[in-house]
């Protein structure tokens, strides 16, 4: 298997560490500077794509260059820094793991993905896809964002979230709005890369649609054939079949589950709240303990405000869908 195939199956494509250009497009008045590299520091906040949660611990350490790092486990701290690493404990709530059947890949015949315990309804949508990107077989579909911008994305049932390129985010006007976005570090098989977390209001694939989707913005997907990938956050409300002969994806709506507000289960809600709480907490620690210059201090302060915006936005959405307080 090629390096590209391995990276794609792990949520996004990263060939090399991003340059300052990656997230260095502009510095916005709302405080989301996309030029951390040029400022001479990088606060590392690890976002776990597998569970969209921070673990129960928050570990921080400083390397020989004076760069502050955050992680969710002492095991991820390089051995030479472990004696000086600080461990913060957060209350850990145990939630059951959501399981899905094996995700589809383009090939011969038809393959089906169904959410366990969910019942399909009569509404179904057939969507054509491109099966090839060079010599690689992908499931690439046209995705429309906010009823305005359409772009090709990989359909990946092995990824829980929505990942888009900085170029696509620019087209959507995300860097110019004031709706909340916070800087961290996204990780996958290809390595780690600076990323931004935010929400997309509307996402549509053919007739299948969803709203309020958490999104991760990274520099580039490493290919001109697609501008991101769409994962189970979107597909959780559908059973799905890929017909590789007809080259179509069939989305079949699932009946609403009274135990899953807005189609999201308890794990999803708790995980997302925990993630944004942890992001805000990490930036607050940087403000109070680690900022080494006025510019760095101001940037970290703005990031704490951006994290609060996202958390407040998530809380309002949860209230609108009667999500229990215990899940927040």
Neighbours of 284 (CB within 10 A): 16
Residue 189 pLDDT > 60: no
Least confident of 78-82, 178-182, 230-234: 78-82
Our CA dihedral for 253, 255, 260, 263, rounded to 10 degrees, sits at: 20
- Per-residue pLDDT tens for 248-307? 999 999 998 999 999 999 999 999 999 999 999 999 998 988 778 898 999 999 999 999
Furthest-apart CA atoms within the chain: distance in Å: 60
What are the sequence ranges of the domains in the chain?
3-95+270-327, 110-171+199-256
Least confident of 107-116, 236-245, 274-283, 303-312: 107-116
- Four-way CATH pick for 110-171+199-256: 3.10.270.10, 1.10.287.3510, 2.40.70.10, 2.60.40.1120: 2.40.70.10
Q: Predicted confidence band at 113 (pLDDT cuts at 50, 70, 90)?
A: low
Which of 290, 255, 212, 246 lies closest to 44, judged by CA? 290
Strand 248-254 and strand 120-128: pairing?
A: antiparallel
Mean pLDDT of 114-121: 56
The region that residue 222 occupies, defined by phi over 0 for left and psi between -120 and 50 for alpha, beta otherwise, is left
Which of 322, 236, 323 lies closest to 273, judged by CA? 323
The highest-confidence range among 130-139, 224-233, 312-321, by mean pLDDT, is: 312-321
Q: What is the pLDDT of residue 312?
A: 96
Q: Are 36 and 183 in contact (CB under 8 A)?
A: yes
Neighbours of 17 (CB within 10 A): 13
Q: Are 159 and 47 in contact (CB under 8 A)?
A: no
On whether the pTM is more than 0.75, the answer is no
- Per-residue pLDDT tens for 68-101? 555 556 777 788 878 877 765 544 444 344 333 3
Average pLDDT score, the chain: 74
């Amino acid at each position: 298997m090629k390096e590209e195939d391995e990276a794609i199956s792990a949520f996004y494509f990263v060939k090399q560490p991003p340059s300052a250009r990656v997230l260095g497009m502009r510095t916005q008045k709302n405080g989301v500077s996309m030029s951390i590299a040029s400022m001479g520091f990088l606060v590392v906040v690890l976002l776990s794509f597998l569970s969209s949660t921070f673990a129960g611990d928050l570990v921080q350490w400083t390397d020989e260059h004076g760069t502050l790092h955050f992680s969710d486990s002492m095991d991820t701290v390089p051995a030479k820094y472990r004696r000086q690493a600080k461990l913060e404990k957060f209350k850990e709530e145990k939630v059951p793991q959501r399981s899905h059947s094996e995700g589809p890949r383009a090939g011969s015949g038809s393959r089906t993905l169904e959410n366990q315990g969910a019942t399909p309804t009569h509404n179904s949508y057939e969507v054509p896809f491109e099966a090839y990107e060079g010599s690689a077989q992908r499931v690439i579909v046209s995705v429309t964002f906010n009823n305005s911008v359409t772009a090709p994305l990989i359909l990946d049932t092995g990824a829980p979230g929505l990942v888009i390129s900085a170029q696509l985010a620019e087209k959507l006007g995300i860097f110019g709005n004031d709706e909340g976005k916070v800087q961290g570090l996204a990780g996958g098989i290809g390595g780690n890369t600076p990323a931004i977390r935010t929400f997309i209001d509307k996402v549509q694939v053919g007739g299948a649609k969803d709203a309020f989707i958490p999104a991760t913005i990274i520099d580039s997907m490493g290919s001109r054939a697609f501008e991101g990938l769409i994962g189970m956050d979107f597909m959780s409300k559908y059973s799905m079949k890929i017909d590789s002969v007809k080259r179509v994806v069939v989305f079949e709506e699932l009946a609403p589950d009274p135990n899953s507000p807005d189609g999201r289960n308890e794990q999803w809600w708790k995980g997302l709240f925990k993630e944004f709480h942890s992001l805000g907490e990490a930036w607050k620690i940087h403000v109070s303990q680690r900022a080494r210059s006025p510019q760095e201090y101001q940037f970290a302060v703005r990031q704490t405000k951006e994290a609060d915006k996202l958390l407040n936005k998530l809380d309002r959405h949860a209230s609108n869908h009667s999500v229990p307080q215990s899940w927040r």
